[in-house]
Amino acid sequence: MHRSWVPLAAPFMLAAALCSPAALSQVAQVAQAVSPSAAPAGLSLSEAIELALRHSPALRAAQSALQASEGAVWQAGARPNPELAALVEDTRAQTRTTTVQLSQPIELGGQRAARLSVAQLAQAQVAVDLQAARAQVRADVTAAYFASAIAQEHVRLAQASSDLAARALDAVARRVQAGKVSPVEETRAKVAHAAAALELLQAQSEQRLARQRLGSLMGRPASGLGPISWRASVDAAATPMPDMVGQQASRLALAPVLSQARLEVARSQALTKLEQARQTPDLTVTLGARRDQEQGRNQLLIGLAMPLPVWDRNQGQVLQALRLQDKAQADLDAAQSRVDTQWGELNERRQSALAEIQALQRDVLPGAESAWQAAVTGFELGKFSFLETLDAQRTLFQARTQYLRALGDWHRSNADIDRLLGTDALDAPAAGPEKDQP
């Protein structure tokens, strides 16, 4: 949730009317303090993602599921066990007959190969789940990281406004004591100072919440994160953005949701083949020996057994598998439509944020900086009032806030594309939204 910072103008207005020209140097120091270039070095986005990937419980669960699927593949390839049987007829030793036989079921119709194919496709689905889990972690960390960065810069802006409001209140109090202004002005200054202090408290609360969310993703307490070094994650080369729409077919093929749907279609087809193979009865081969004590001789036993598919021909399972195959194909078509729609929306949002960043870099931020510098120079020459100077400074603060918000939108769009495609969109060549701005 983004709040407007227009209420921060109140302290500037009071200070404009009441402070002396000597306060202008302090204003310049405050403006420099809230400049993005003054952000201290600290946690970078790549470091946050690396820590989150290392400590994510969801990622460990997905990795365990992938390891478990190896056992399913192994089991699917196992052949039926042989059966050893012993039979004793008659309890009298002189007339006793003892039979020992070994039976081996033999799967026919390609059942083992079909069963193994089903298990391997299921394992491939789990691998896609792991890929999607990694993309989810990267996207979540990116969103939390820039939420923390924005909250951090908002605290800096609110602190600067609060400092100016405090100086304005001191100036008003002195002028009231000197009898130069009405005590009403002091009351207004107190209200403005209280409003600025409230804005600061709210900004600090938002920063703590944002850092707690980021720390929970990284497996670290919020107190151990340090400052957010957001500039290190956005200093990309200012090269034109490649035509991502033109690469749509190849990039969307990597989307985990589509890979998962295609694998489900293949698995349902393999399940259909497996159920069809099970319509062929298994053959059981028996080899054994019989000892007849009364006749005093051994007999060799050889046998073949096969169920007769008279009542149960597995036709119900085959029908179910065929209908599930149709469902999987329909799910794939629906997933393709959803991904196409999401891709268009995300790409448009990303390009819009990038255009806003470039406009801010090209026109708004330089213009706001130029206006503020001109106001400072004009004030020193007596051509502008202090009110106009502080109003120019407020405009510069608001432009920097808007720039940081647009920058966060750009990276969140990248994160959502990463989440959709299952690839690191930040690795792609990108137009750098960050230059050496004031």
Encode pLDDT of 9-28 as tens digits: 444 343 343 344 444 444 44
Q: Hey, what are 280's tokens?
A: 């062929």
3-state secondary structure 97-126: EEEEEEEEEECCCCHHHHHHHHHHHHHHHH
Q: What is the DSSP letter of 360?
A: I
pLDDT tens, residue by residue, 180-196: 767 877 787 788 778 87
Lowest-confidence range among 34-38, 45-49, 189-193, 264-268?
A: 34-38
What distance in Å separates the CA atoms of residue 30 and residue 394, rounded to the nearest whole number?
Answer: 11
Q: What is the model's pLDDT at position 384?
A: 61
Percent of the chain topping pLDDT 70: 77
Lowest-confidence range among 104-113, 313-322, 395-404?
A: 395-404
Measured torsion, CA atoms of residues 9, 14, 17, 23, in degrees rounded to the nearest 10? -90
Q: Hey, what are 310's tokens?
A: 């008279």
Which residues, other chains included, contact 309 with Cβ-Cβ below 8 Å and sequence gap of 6+? 279, 281
pLDDT tens, residue by residue, 241-279: 444 555 555 777 778 889 899 999 999 999 999 999 988
Are 263 and 121 in contact by the 8 Å Cβ rule? The answer is yes
Which residues, other chains included, contact 292 with Cβ-Cβ below 8 Å and sequence gap of 6+? 97, 298, 299
Tally of CB atoms within 10 A around 359 = 13
Q: What is the model's pLDDT at position 184?
A: 79
pLDDT at 217 over 60: yes
Categorize the per-residue pLDDT at 39 as very low, low, confident or very high, splitting at 50, 70 and 90: very low
Taking alpha carbons only, the member of 189, 145, 153 closest to residue 15 is: 189
pLDDT at 339 over 70: yes
What is the Cα Rg of the chain in Å? 37
Lowest-confidence range among 94-103, 143-152, 395-404?
A: 395-404
Q: What is the model's pLDDT at position 168?
A: 66
What distance in Å separates the CA atoms of residue 122 and residue 115, rounded to the nearest whole number?
Answer: 11
Q: What is the pTM of this model?
A: 0.69
Q: Hey, what are 282's tokens?
A: 């298994």
CA distances 42 to 33, 39, 281, 350, 398, Å, are 17, 9, 68, 26, 24
Which residues, other chains included, contact 253 with Cβ-Cβ below 8 Å and sequence gap of 6+? 259
Which residues, other chains included, contact 427 with Cβ-Cβ below 8 Å and sequence gap of 6+? none
When pLDDT is averaged across residues 213-230 and rounded to a whole number, the result is 80
Element spanning 301, H or E: strand 297-305
Q: Which domains does the chain have, with CATH numbers?
A: 6-427 (1.20.1600.10)
| CB burial readout 46-66, b (16+ within 10 A) else e | eebbebbeeebeebeebeebb
Element spanning 25, H or E: helix 23-33
Taking alpha carbons only, the member of 140, 121, 137, 53 closest to residue 260 is: 121
pLDDT at 85 over 50: yes
Q: 331: phi > 0 → left, psi -120 to 50 → alpha, else beta; which?
A: alpha
Tally of CB atoms within 10 A around 239 = 10
What distance in Å separates the CA atoms of residue 7 and residue 13, rounded to the nearest whole number?
Answer: 11
Long-range contacts of 207-212 (CB under 8 A, 24+ apart): 207/148, 207/151, 207/152, 207/154, 207/155, 209/151, 210/144, 210/147, 210/148, 210/150, 210/151, 211/148, 211/151
pLDDT at 133 over 50: yes
What distance in Å separates the CA atoms of residue 247 and residue 425, rounded to the nearest whole number?
Answer: 13
3-class state of residue 286 by DSSP:
strand
pLDDT at 2 over 80: no
pLDDT tens, residue by residue, 86-108: 998 887 878 888 899 999 999 88
Q: What is the model's pLDDT at position 299?
A: 87
Taking alpha carbons only, the member of 291, 288, 317 closest to residue 303 is: 288
Q: Hey, what are 94's tokens?
A: 């002189």
Give residue for tokens 């502080």.
390
Categorize the per-residue pLDDT at 34 as very low, low, confident or very high, splitting at 50, 70 and 90: very low
The whole-angstrom distance between residue 254's C-alpha and the CA centroid of its chain comes to 16
3-class state of residue 431 by DSSP:
strand
